[in-house]
Structures are given as structure tokens and as C-alpha cells.
Structure 1
Amino acid sequence: MDEEQLDRIANLPKVELHLHHEGAAPPDFIRQMAAAKGVNLSHIFDAEGRYKYRDFTHFLQVYEAATSVLKTPEDFAKLTTAVLEQSAEAGVVYSETFLSPDFCGGGDVGAWREYLHAIREAATDAEQRLGITLRGVVTCIRHFGPEQAKRSALCAAETAGDWIVGFGMGGDEGRGHQGDFAYAFDMARESGLHLTTHAGEFGGPASVREAIQDLHVTRIGHGVRAIEDLRLVDNIVDQGITLEVCPGSNIRLGLYSTMRHHPIAKLRERGVKVTVSTDDPPFFGTTMKDEYLNLARAFGWDEEVLNDIARTSLEAAFCDAATRDRVAKKLEPAA
């Protein structure tokens, strides 16, 4: 694959479905926010100013330390602008971001509304300036437990609509079971929200099966370890479930040694609807542009394949039909 083709691939319009809002905060943004508030976060950065962590558990601790300086709706408005600017720079035209009421008002509905208003205003401004459309997926935090998840689900249900379009769960897959959170997911479903949950990253195939059976999701965050159980893979195909695959994240956290060893190509060949996202891009040293280029180099995927993945992503997006149709025009090849 020559440099000219790689350049065209890098500049393709992209759709991202798996992006943690706080996890997308550029290190410089968090450093500046911490300095302005007199908070010492030097321990979460390496000598080059990047986030540093030892393993997934430590990653969660660093993530929460970085998030700790985001205290007000105005902070989250500034964060939204920073996140969307870097996404647009990578060619993203539509993004769904995971937002946790636990970090935006402590799970209180009234406070959550204030944070959400500020985030939406910043997103609207970015769309006008940069042409990138953002929608929100409220997430509960698995290691905060089922009772706290109910508070997040209530925040989601109270603000469901044209902008808050889904509900999901992130956090430590090693804590509890998917079914422990069924009440929160039922509440979100009854409010008309679409559902996703993290599974099949560290939890293995069993966690994917639990997510499908107990939470009735239509998308799964990561899900890549389903490849270890081909009957499960076939079930995913039969049910039309979409996987929000984050290859760079999986490699950085040690699930796979290199992109060539990543199962995304095998999953796609077997008929799974796979999408591509960055997860927590500055934590994993990636962008959507990097993801596309690395996939092209590893698997020989050309513009046609990657355009197909972008269209698959848009079809799986939780937004309304009018938004989907508008974004679809941006994925059409230039005349």
C-alpha cells in the first residue's frame, strides 16, 4: 500500500461509537485545568507529558485522578470543545460519547441537567464550526455498583431524547455480573434509549453471553474475546449485534501483542458487524486516523473496506433517522 493510498485512508470521513468523554481529555488540557485549580497531578504523567499507568486497574485509577479536576458544567463544556476539536482533526464526522452522571453532578438529576446543558452547548458550537455531530450515551460505572447504576439510569431516563440517545456501562469487568445491573438497563430501555455495555474485553466470552442474555443490548463495547467461542460469534451475527471494537486500546492494554494478532478481521470475515473506535485516545496514544492507518497496514484494508466500516458504524448509531441521513451524506465519495 503506497503513501498516496494511505493518505487517502487517513483523510476518510469517520464515525466513532465508543469514546469515553473524560478519557478523551488531552493531557495538556488536564494539566492546565489542574494547575488552574492548584491540584498536583504530576504523578499521572510520564516525562513526555503523557498519561502513565501500569495495567488496567492502575489505568482506572489514573483515569479517575484526571477526571477529579473536572468539577463544574463549565469544565465539561471546555472538555467537550477540546475533545471534539481533536476528533474533527482526525476526520470524525459523527461521534457518540459516553457520559457518566457520576462524574457530572454525582448522579443527581438536577445537577446532571446543568452539566448536560453545558456539554450540549459546546457540542452545538463545535458542529457549527467543525462539522462534527455529537450525541450522548449515559453510562453507569460497573465498579460503583448496581444501586449507583440506578441513579445513572434515572438521569438517563429523565433526559432521554434527540441528544441523549443511549445507555451503557463501563468500568471494571471483574466486578459483579452483567445481570446485576438489569434494573438500571430496564429503566433506560423503557425510556426509549438504546443499550450497550462493555463486555468481552477482560471478561472473556462468558461476559459477552451475559450481556446479550441478561441486558438485551444491541451493541457491545469491545466484545473481541467472543472470537474464543465461535458459537457465540455466530449468535452475535444471527442477532445482528454490533461490536464497538477499539483495536489500539486492546493492544495497549495487553489483550493482543500486535494489530496483526487482533481478531477484528476474523470477526468481520465471519459476518460480525464491527466498528472502529479509540476508547480513551490520549491514554492509548491513538486517534481515529491512527486506527484506520494501522488497520490498513495490518490487514491490507483499502478505502472501500474502511468506508464500509464507517457505514456499518452509522447504521449502528443510536441517533434518530434524520441525523443518520444527514451524516450519511458526509460518507459519500466525492464526485
Structure 2
Amino acid sequence: MVLKAELHCHIEGAASPALVEAQARKYGVDISSFIRNGAYYWHDFTSFLLAYDRAASLFRSPEDYALLAESYLTELAAQGAIYSEFLTSPDHAERAGLSPQAYTEALGEGMARAKAATGIESRMIVTGVRHFGPEAIEKAARFAASCGHPLVTGFGVAGDERIGHPRDFVRAFATAREAGLGVTIHAGEFGGADSVAAALDHIHPSRIGHGVRAIESLDLVRRIADEGVVLEACPVSNVVLRVFPDFARHPFPQLRAAGCRVTLNSDDPPHFHTSLAREYAVAAEHFGLGDAALAAITRTAIEAAFMDEKTRAVLLARLAREEKAA
């Protein structure tokens, strides 16, 4: 089994239908509008967001969030993952009636349980929601910078990239950087190459969430390769949401061939009937990647991860041992 690592997964979007069904029973909530026959049900991006929010609303206590993180990471470890970074949302916590601090500490408890059981390392990226506006994003950045949790190592912006402009978020990212956090920003999913270029121009991130529509500008692709920006690609999500019509027309192979540093990620896995293991399988089947190439993608993820250098060295050494044994 090729060892795997993930940099881009929304923790609320990682809740399995079975776990959401259990939460619904706990709180006496009817979920038939968005879960049917043990699977999430939605038909377009708007209804996906609604299903996402309704599922997230069923996590209301610290123990609920600890269970969510523990369940996801334990499942991920069973797929051969040795590292995970997931995106957290203080806005969802507050809607659930929890303070961002209590929410973060609860997720951290679940991460500790999963590590104790499986050995998987994990970190959190606090995110602001783009369509909530610059002030909300700055609030999230201030929380990320001041919360003091050792597993909060990054800050990012998610949400509808068609709303707002990266120049509006410069102050938020400056706050995160001053606190020593790694930075990433969603771009080049539902926004085109211009969205990616604007993110690079104004935010100067080391990583871009998605970023795949950079393929629409060969000059931009060259820039990404030259600057060493890492793309957090989510191929199955892109096809399910019709960013690209099928895997044959997904630009992952072209971006990789052009020298871009690319990784594989599951985004909101159960919503898209995927998993990190499936993303690696898709890369093997549709993009023609063998075990050595897949291991190199894992190495890229570990090298680009927002973690301390001691942990990075341990994980890279484990990858090297696995490759030598293979």
C-alpha cells in the first residue's frame, strides 16, 4: 500500500452519512431531505452547500466534534494515510453554539485519540468564509493567530470564490503570517485562472486550494511551477461538481508534467462518494501514475505541510523506508 497524506479536507464535510444518522437520532432531527439510502443527496452546488450545512448542524457539543475528528482520522489511517490537515470553520462552531476555542479544543481531543490508536499525525487549518466578507475572515484570522492550540498550524480562506477579491483579505493573511501560521487559499475551482493569479498576487500563499483552473493560462502554470506553489488538487470533487466533465479532461497530468507541485485530496469525501484512497486510485487509473509517482505526491504533501520540522523529518523518513522496502 502506498502511504498517503492529505492537505485539503473540510472537517464538517468529512462526516460520514452513518455518523450523521447517529447524530440525527441523538438530537431527534429529520435528515430525509439530504440523506437517502445511507448516502448524501443533493443535485447541484447550491443543494450541496445546504446538505453540508445541515449535516454540520448536527455536531453541537465538544464531544460531537471530538468524535467527528476521531472517526475521520481513524478511517483515513486505515486507508494508509500517515498525515492529515483538515480545514476547520469557527463560523460553523458558533452556529452550533460553541465558542471557536471550545470547538478547536474538541477537535484536538479527537485528533489525539486517533493518533493514540493509529499513529496518524494531523493538524488544523482555521478558515474564514469568503462570502461572509472581509470582516468575518479577519475575525477568523485573529482567532487562528491567538488561540494557542499547538495543532492549529495554518490559516486559509474557503467559500464562494466568485464573491469578493483576494485584495480584501490581505490584512487577515498578514495577521496569520505574523503568528507564524502557514497560509493557503481556495482559488481556481469555480473561479478561473484570473482567480488563481489574484490569489498569488495579493496573498502570496505557499499553497492553493484546488488551483486546477490555472490550466486556462499557460503563463500562470509556468508561474506556479517556477514559484513552487503547491496545488491541493481534489480530482473527484472537481468531476462530481462538473468543474471538469470527466477525468480524461482533468488537468492534473498536464499540471504535473509542467512542473507544478501537485497533491491529492478528498475535499468533502462522503458528499462526493470518494476517499483519499479513491483519489490515489483515480490518479493511478486515469492519470497513469505508478506507485513511485504516487509516493512522490505523498512526499510533496509532507514537504508542503504546515507542521514542525521534527515531525516532518519523521514522516519523510518513514516514506523513505517504505519506498526502499518496495
Answer whether TM exceeds 0.5 for this pair: yes
Q: Which amino acid aligns with 2:253?
A: A
Task: Indicate yes or no: 2:231 matched with 1:274.
Answer: no
Distance in 2, Cα, partners of 1:145 & 1:224 = 24
> Per-residue deviation at 1:57?
2.0
Distance in 2, Cα, partners of 1:280 & 1:192 = 27
| Aligned mate of 1:242, from 194, 211, 230 | 230
Distance in 2, Cα, partners of 1:128 & 1:169 = 30
Query: Structure 2 regions of 5+ residues with no counterpart?
Result: none
In the alignment, is the contact (CA less than 8 A) between 1:101 and 1:107 conserved in 2?
Answer: no
- For 1:285-304, list aligned pairs within 5 A: 285-304=273-292
Corresponding position of 1:42:
32
Distance in 2, Cα, partners of 1:58 & 1:136 = 27
Bigger shift: residues 322-331 or 269-278: 322-331
Corresponding position of 2:202:
214
Bigger shift: residues 253-262 or 134-143: 253-262
Distance in 2, Cα, partners of 1:61 & 1:161 = 30
Q: Percent identity?
A: 43
Aligned length: 323
| Aligned mate of 2:58, from 69, 76, 85 | 69
- For 1:10-159, list aligned pairs within 5 A: 11-46=1-36, 48-105=37-94, 111-159=99-147
Bigger shift: residues 87-96 or 265-274: 87-96
> Per-residue deviation at 1:159?
2.3
Distance in 2, Cα, partners of 1:105 & 1:78 = 18
| Aligned mate of 2:242, from 254, 257, 260 | 254
Distance in 2, Cα, partners of 1:34 & 1:142 = 29
Distance in 1, Cα, partners of 2:143 & 2:227 = 29
> Per-residue deviation at 1:279?
0.4
- Aligned with 2:7: secondary structure? strand
Distance in 2, Cα, partners of 1:38 & 1:25 = 18
- Aligned with 1:220: secondary structure? strand
Deviations 1:166-214 (A, max 9, x none): 1001111121112222221111111111110100001000100111111
Corresponding position of 1:6:
none
> Per-residue deviation at 1:161?
6.0
> Per-residue deviation at 1:106?
5.2
Deviations 1:23-66 (A, max 9, x none): 000011111101210111210113x2211112112211111111
- For 1:152-171, list aligned pairs within 5 A: 152-160=140-148, 162-171=150-159
In the alignment, is the contact (CA less than 8 A) between 1:243 and 1:275 conserved in 2?
Answer: yes
- Aligned with 1:81: secondary structure? helix
- Aligned with 1:153: secondary structure? helix
> Per-residue deviation at 1:141?
0.9
Distance in 1, Cα, partners of 2:311 & 2:304 = 13
Distance in 1, Cα, partners of 2:202 & 2:148 = 22
Deviations 1:7-35 (A, max 9, x none): xxxx2110100010000000111111012
- Aligned with 1:169: secondary structure? strand
Q: TM-score, normalised by structure 2?
A: 0.95
- Aligned with 1:294: secondary structure? helix
- For 1:287-326, list aligned pairs within 5 A: 287-326=275-314
In the alignment, is the contact (CA less than 8 A) between 1:160 and 1:191 conserved in 2?
Answer: no
Distance in 1, Cα, partners of 2:193 & 2:287 = 24
Bigger shift: residues 187-196 or 170-179: 170-179
Q: Which amino acid aligns with 1:246?
A: C
Q: Which amino acid aligns with 2:7?
A: L
Deviations 1:290-322 (A, max 9, x none): 111111111221111000111011111010101
In the alignment, is the contact (CA less than 8 A) between 2:252 and 2:287 conserved in 1?
Answer: no
